Amino acid sequence: MTYTISEIAKTLKIKEVNNPESPISHLLSDSREVFNPGETLFFALKTANNDGHKYVDELYNLGVRHFVVQTIHPEWKNLKDINLLHVKDSLLALQKVATFHREHFDIPVIAITGSNGKTIVKEWIYQMLGSEKNITRSPRSYNSQLGVPLSVWQLNENTELGLFEAGISMPNEMTRLQKIIQPTIGVFTNIGDAHQENFKNLKQKCLEKLELFVNCDVIICEEGNKLLDECMEATCLSQKSFTWSYNNRSNSPLLILKVEKLEAKSFITYSFLGLPFTVELPFTDDASVENVTSSIAAALYLTTSIKTIQEKVKQLEPVAMRLDVRRGKNNNIIVNDTYNSDINSLKIALSFLGQQSAEDSPKRTLILSDILQSGFSDEALYKSVSDLADSASIGRIIGIGHHISDQQKLFANIPHIFFDSTEDFISSGIWNEFHEETILLKGSRHFEFERISELIEQKNHETVLDINLDAILHNFKFHRSRMNPDTKIICMVKADAYGSGSEEVAKILQYHKCDYFAVAIAEEGVVLRKAGIKTPIIVLNPEVSGFNQLFESYLEPEVYNFRILDAFIKEAQRRGISDFPIHIKMDTGMHRLGFAEEDIPLLLERLRSQQALKVKSTFSHLAASESWAFDDFTTQQISLFKKLASALQDGLDYPIWRHILNSAGIERFPEEQMDMVRLGISLYGISASGLDGLRNVCTLKTTILQIKHLKKGETVGYGRRGDLDHDASIATIRIGYADGLSRQFGNRNGHVLVNGHLVPIIGNICMDLSMIEITGLDIKEGDEVILFGDELSVIDQAKKINTIPYEVLTSVSSRVRRIYFRE
């Protein structure tokens, strides 16, 4: 919609403007996103990191004439025809303008808030209702003080339903968002501890969020969450609520009766006003169940038929939260955005494309499918696309689909080519000619643009640690099958799961019913809890300073001496806790942590004189279980442990579990598995005892950046350490000691694998790069280089530098991207 600058100035209480009839259709806050400058009103915002006033001149030169500013530079006054709307606070002014716009609409408007899931619920409501109604919604997660007004501004004469999310990080922000959105329908996803820092407590945060709904006709939310129920009551909103509940005895109109999870989908049975129905959801995690329930409740409130809901839920698509940038073949950069395909997200993606390709960079190519469900006529829609593409300096547009193809004429001023289908585009082969371009791939799901990205992406053009989740599962099940059915397995996920990433690894193991996890420090446990891990977790090296986290995230500490024991009892008692599980560590010869034999009487006395803690298990750690030479010592450790464990058990009137085996112990002394075992490195595919049947999990790989041909006598790298006594070809690879490649591999001590050839590392290893010698081999720039993996074992690599596989694995630094895959 278009207003005149004088109308807008009036809402800001500014009387005098130049050219009062000038039309304004675009509000701009980011100077890089200019498009249609003639009808743009720029808001110069001051933020912690930037000051929009810096860009006034530049924007003026691009044709922008209308500015909202907090300060006026004298020289701006000389700019012809400029309008400087002087306000105290530009952000507030932007919000006022959006509010003014909102007031022109008498339509239902949904506002979504809550701690998690806002964007997903928004997108899923859209996916459910978008084919029936013209919906204007926030792009991506535009839910802030800035994002909300810009989103609301998108409401237009075709809109039948507004759908906006609102997020806050500080007290008093929600009232401002409420005024802008003026929602008639509220959706509260859930309340959690995100953005806690600026609020006194959860209740304050919850009450603040509910401010969004003060004038709503209805609030859709869960019933049975104590805090939320209380806050809804306190704000008198409960009278207007439309609730759903996990509790099938509650009075909510929508009840979850049953959730049945299968491999890749779940079936949720609801009762709506007593009428049962089942939906098939293509996801299995709890968050998705909750999110889809909120979305279904909203759809039901809007009188969508159950049949439609069932149909749509079955086809719900995952909501990707970010744009992906990848290296493509032929030095292309590919920005992959299949998030959603509407005009607003196109605008954002184009601006992102601008950020990815330098000003003077070569071609920008847009590959775009038909945009579905836009609510505009094709002509109006693709006219805007063409304008957007034009102002984003798109050098070539490739349109795929009948609708966009039918509007070819609108793209006359940009080089273009159109195809009826993705298939036609692929068989044309023109993608082979893309070269040094930045390519934005943006297509509706239905066009399956992933088929295009597969063709043009260079999958391996960086240093990555590939993690084969199927191999981890295989190793887990392999050990499972070798053990007594009752023996519990503790999967060791300390040190970020031996470098492979604890969240991902724990998730898949939890799904396959691993009994326990163990981490080294409390923080590692907290990370897992936040990722949704519900399996019990042992913290091996707890410290007094981390006790809070143990109690709050229900992490079970290893107790290894009286200092920890006493402090822990005291803290548990202070909190009024009873029977908090602990694990007693015995020292049987490792001499690292643990109680000794002579401590047991006193230990029992302490344990018996309190109710706060309860011993869940006792255990010890073997010092040399992998080594035949020390088998006598290992046997001694085991028998000492049995003696100590019995003494502890005898002194307690409830049963405790016992465990001593680590990976090598599991492999070599299976008869000593007792009640539990602690599976570590073997889970990651490395056997200390040469056991057959494990699969390699991690592959560290990189690529060749450059190849040089050097003459005998020249040197390679720092300190001129790489001496050549023959003419040689040298390849520089994209990995160095900052990635975790030990410098000790340098100077021909270590080898890597390229196209099946084992070749030496030459010269000193640098921080980010290393050099290898490839003389006489058929190897080219861009080829993949394996540092360790299926064909080049971590064990062998570790030996080369006199260390153990554990160190090689856990050294891979966090800047190396982890890629998880399943076969």
Ligand X SMILES: *Cc1c(COP(=O)(O)O)cnc(C)c1O
Catalytically active residues are 494, 718
Asked if 323 and 349 touch (Cβ cutoff 8 Å), the reply is: yes
Beta bridge partners of 294: none
Residue 497 within binding range of ligand X, rule CB under 6 A: no
**How would you class 486 by CB atoms within 10 Å of its CB: exposed for 0-12, middle for 13-18, buried for 19 or more?**
exposed
Supply the minimum distance, in Å, between the C-beta of residue 689 and ligand X.
Answer: 11
Q: Give the whole-angstrom CA distance, residue 390 versus residue 413.
A: 8
Supply the minimum distance, in Å, between the C-beta of residue 796 and ligand X.
Answer: 18
Q: Give the whole-angstrom CA distance, residue 603 versus residue 613.
A: 13
Supply the minimum distance, in Å, between the C-beta of residue 521 and ligand X.
Answer: 12
Q: Give the whole-angstrom CA distance, residue 569 versus residue 563.
A: 10
**592 annotated ligand-binding residue:** yes
Q: Which of 37, 34, 33, 35 is nearest to 22 (CA)?
A: 37
Q: What angle do CA 261, 534, 812 make, to 5 degrees?
A: 105
Distance of CA 31 to the CA centre of its chain: 28
| Parallel/antiparallel/unpaired status of strands 516-519 and 537-539 | parallel
Supply the minimum distance, in Å, between the C-beta of residue 624 and ligand X.
Answer: 11
Q: Which CB, 418 or 619, lies closer to ligand X?
A: 619
Helix (H, G, I), strand (E, B) or coil at 670: helix
Q: Which residues contact 768 (CB under 8 A, 6 or more apart)?
A: 734, 735, 736, 738, 739
- Candidates 5, 389, 440, 540: give the one binding ligand X (CB under 6 A): 540
Supply the minimum distance, in Å, between the C-beta of residue 119 and ligand X.
Answer: 38
Supply the minimum distance, in Å, between the C-beta of residue 679 and ligand X.
Answer: 6
Asked if 30 and 50 touch (Cβ cutoff 8 Å), the reply is: no
Reported as type and span, the H/E element at residue 723 is: strand 722-723
List own/partner pairs for 329-333 with CB under 8 A and 24 or more apart: 329/434, 329/456, 329/457, 329/458, 330/434, 330/435, 330/436, 331/435, 331/436, 332/434, 332/435, 332/436, 332/437, 332/438, 332/439, 332/456, 333/357, 333/437, 333/438, 333/439
Reported as type and span, the H/E element at residue 228 is: helix 226-234
Dmax of the chain from CA atoms? 95
Q: Which CB, 456 or 519, lies closer to ligand X?
A: 519
Q: Which CB, 39 or 587, lies closer to ligand X?
A: 587
Residue 634 within binding range of ligand X, rule CB under 6 A: no
Supply the minimum distance, in Å, between the C-beta of residue 411 and ligand X.
Answer: 60
Q: Which CB, 5 or 518, lies closer to ligand X?
A: 518
Cite the beta strand spans of 386-477 per DSSP E.
Answer: 396-400, 416-419, 438-442, 464-468
First to last CA, the chain: 50
Q: Which CB, 270 or 684, lies closer to ligand X?
A: 684
Q: Which CB, 364 or 668, lies closer to ligand X?
A: 668
- By beta carbon distance, the residue nearest ligand X is 680
SS3 of 557-601: EEECCHHHHHHHHHHHHHCCCCCEEEEEEECCCCCCCCECHHHHH
Q: Give the whole-angstrom CA distance, residue 112 versus residue 313.
A: 19
Taking the CB of residue 789, how many other CB atoms lie within 10 A of it? 19
**586 annotated ligand-binding residue:** no
| Parallel/antiparallel/unpaired status of strands 728-733 and 698-710 | antiparallel
Supply the minimum distance, in Å, between the C-beta of residue 662 and ligand X.
Answer: 4
Handedness of CA 124, 130, 131, 133 (dihedral sign): positive
| Parallel/antiparallel/unpaired status of strands 770-773 and 757-762 | antiparallel
Site for ligand X (CB under 6 A): how many residues?
Answer: 11
What is the pattern of x (binds ligand X, CB under 6 A) and - over residues 178-217?
----------------------------------------
Q: Kindly indicate which of the ranges 83-91, 268-276, 387-395, 657-665 contains the residues binding ligand X, using the contact rule CB under 6 A.
A: 657-665
Q: Which CB, 425 or 516, lies closer to ligand X?
A: 516
Q: Give the whole-angstrom CA distance, residue 503 versus residue 252.
A: 35
Q: Which CB, 399 or 685, lies closer to ligand X?
A: 685
467-496 residues in contact with ligand X (CB under 6 A) are 492, 494
Distance of CA 791 to the CA centre of its chain: 31
Q: Which CB, 668 or 701, lies closer to ligand X?
A: 668
Q: Kindly indicate which of the ranges 43-51, 67-75, 223-231, 658-666 contains the residues binding ligand X, using the contact rule CB under 6 A.
A: 658-666
Q: Which of 217, 1, 216 is nearest to 97 (CA)?
A: 1
Supply the minimum distance, in Å, between the C-beta of residue 618 and ligand X.
Answer: 12
Taking the CB of residue 715, how many other CB atoms lie within 10 A of it? 14
Supply the minimum distance, in Å, between the C-beta of residue 120 and ligand X.
Answer: 37
Supply the minimum distance, in Å, between the C-beta of residue 668 and ligand X.
Answer: 12
Supply the minimum distance, in Å, between the C-beta of residue 498 and ligand X.
Answer: 7
Residue 686, token pair as written in the block: 């490395």
SS3 of 83-135: EEEECCCHHHHHHHHHHHHHCCCCCCEEEEECCCCHHHHHHHHHHHHCCCCCE
- Candidates 621, 658, 701, 751: give the one binding ligand X (CB under 6 A): 621
Residue 620 within binding range of ligand X, rule CB under 6 A: no
Q: Which CB, 256 or 660, lies closer to ligand X?
A: 660
659-688 residues in contact with ligand X (CB under 6 A) are 662-664, 678, 680-682
Q: Which CB, 29 or 475, lies closer to ligand X?
A: 475
Asked if 340 and 446 touch (Cβ cutoff 8 Å), the reply is: no
Q: Which CB, 698 or 765, lies closer to ligand X?
A: 698
Letter for the amino acid at 248?
N
Helix (H, G, I), strand (E, B) or coil at 370: coil
Q: Which of 93, 104, 102, 105 is nearest to 8 (CA)?
A: 93
- Please report, as ranges, the residues that interact with ligand X according to CB under 6 A: 492, 494, 540, 621, 662-664, 678, 680-682
The annotated binding site for substrate is made up of 592, 767
- Residues belonging to the binding site are 592, 767
